[in-house]
Amino acid sequence: MRFIDSHTEGEPTRVIIDGGPDLGSGTLTERRNRFRETADQFRQCAINEPRGWDAVVGALLCEPTDTSCAAGVIFFNNTGYLNMCGHGAIGVAVTLHYLGRIGLGVQRLETPVGIVEVNLLSPNEVSIENVPSYRHRSKVSVDVEHLGTVTGDIAWGGNWFFLVEQSPAPLTLDNLRSLSDAAHLVRNALKRDGITGADGQEIDHIEFFGPAQSPEAHSRNFVYCPGGAYDRSPCGTGTSAKLACLAADGKLAAGENWIQESIIGSRFTGSYRSASDETIIPTITGTAYVCSEGTLIQQAGDPFPNGIGGSPA
């Protein structure tokens, strides 16, 4: 498989540009399901060690069903498949421009949860107009082992998030282990108590907030991803979910900027326009840089052709 790696505000994206699975035709959702059911070894090879690592998000380029789109894309990580990925969409746009496949200006990407508009402001700076986002429930409390009662909002930004305003520990890199452990406990407690997103969908992302370290930012976050890695970027879908909560509370007006700082200090600028009484259309702006390209190889006799923990040859 040929790939190009980039990072968006520190968070890696691996775009598969050739040699991925043939998923046939149909909607992106149908092809994502086919990927999961019949070709998961490709995901394992691309993401698992020793060829990949837990933090990387993969992006398989596909032919779009909507001819107005520059590409279709299916996102995946170390545990499975994502509905949407904000930092990944920025990385895909920068990668497509690096390859000479798209120019600057407005482009469209087709994902399993809808069409995402991307605006390349420069070869490295991108604004994405994400899928409709909303707060599903506010001030939901859950009893968490070792933490006591934790209260947060449930919101959709392309993935399901539980957003906790009061982080259980200061948002510094020194506290990554304790933050990850706390987020894991919160996610387990939500699952235990049957607390879900709409239609019983699992809440697989946990987001803690605290004061920003930069005077230019409005808040700092820690985002715990489905596979146990933390997001190095401020998280595009997580920032979209945050904007939906701010809008619902009347704390951020349409068109007003919100600067979200990540656990490593990188930043996204977010804003929104109203789509309905309950739904917003977020715009997330950040930067991405291509950092490597190459070919993943599976030699005969390799005991880990699909990575450590992956399926055997």
Closest CA to 73 of 38, 108, 123: 108
For 39, phi and psi rounded to 5 degrees?
Answer: -140, 30
Closest CA to 225 of 27, 86, 114: 86
Work out the number of other CB atoms within 10 angstroms of the CB of residue 85. Answer: 30
Question: Would residue 85 show up in a list of annotated catalytic residues for this protein?
Answer: yes
The secondary structure of 267-298, three-state, reads: EEEEEEEECCCCCEEEEEEEEEEEEEEEECCC
Catalytic residue among 45, 85, 225, 245: 85
Catalytic residue among 45, 62, 225, 235: 235
Closest CA to 304 of 17, 11, 51, 12: 51
Question: Would residue 45 show up in a list of annotated catalytic residues for this protein?
Answer: no
Unique residue bearing structure tokens 């789509």 = 275
Q: Which two tokens stand for residue 217?
A: 């930012």
Cα 198 from chain centroid? 19
Q: Which residues are catalytic?
A: 85, 235
